[in-house]
Amino acid sequence: MEQIWAPWRIEYIQREKSEGCILCEKPKQSSDAMNYILYRGDKNFVIMNAYPYNPGHLMIAPYRHVANLDELTDEERHEHFAMVSRCIKLLRQAFNPGGFNIGINMGKVAGAGIEEHVHTHIVPRWQGDTNFMPVIAEVRVVPEALAGTYEKLKGKF
C-alpha cells in the first residue's frame, strides 16, 4: 500500500476554530502573504483558498459582510466579476489549465463553507486531475504547496 504524506493538514485538523468570519478578519490584517491575499480592490479582494481543491484555487470576496449576491451594491458586484475575469486570465498565464470550475455557494444546503459571507470560487482544472484517490480513499492530493502557488501568482496582479 502506498502512503501519501500531507503534514500541513495537521494544522487544519488541530487548529482552534475561529468564531469570527475569516473573510472579514483576514483583509483587516496587514500580512497579505501570510493570509494568501493576492490582490486588494476597492470593494473586493482575492484570496487563495487555504484548503484548495487544486493549485491556484482562488476566492473573490467583498470586504462587506453580506451573505447573498443580491445584497451587493452595483459597484461591489461589478468589481467582483471584473476580478473573476482577471483571475481567470492570470491563472491561464501562470498554470495553463484546461478549464475552470467557477462557483458561488449561497447557503449551507448549497455547500457554502462560509455561508454568511458570499464569495466566488475559481478552481483551475486539468485533464486527469481527478483520479482514484477521491473515489477510493476519500483523499485529495494537491500537488503544490500554498506558498509556491502564492509566489507564482502574487507578481501577476
Domain-by-domain residue ranges, the chain? Answer: 19-154
What predicted TM-score, i.e. pTM, was given to this entire model?
0.78
Q: What is the DSSP string of 110-141?
A: GT-SSTTS--EEEEEE-TT-S-HIIIIIS---
Average pLDDT over residues 45-68: 93
Going by C-alpha positions, the residue among 18, 122, 21 that lies closest to residue 67 is 21
User: Known catalytic residue: 65?
Assistant: no
Q: 88 or 154, which is more confident?
A: 88
Residue-level pLDDT at 147: 84
pLDDT tens figures, 102-133: 999 988 888 878 889 999 999 999 887 765 44
Q: Which of 57, 78, 117, 119 is catalytic?
A: 119
* Homologous superfamily, domain 19-154: HIT-like (3.30.428.10)
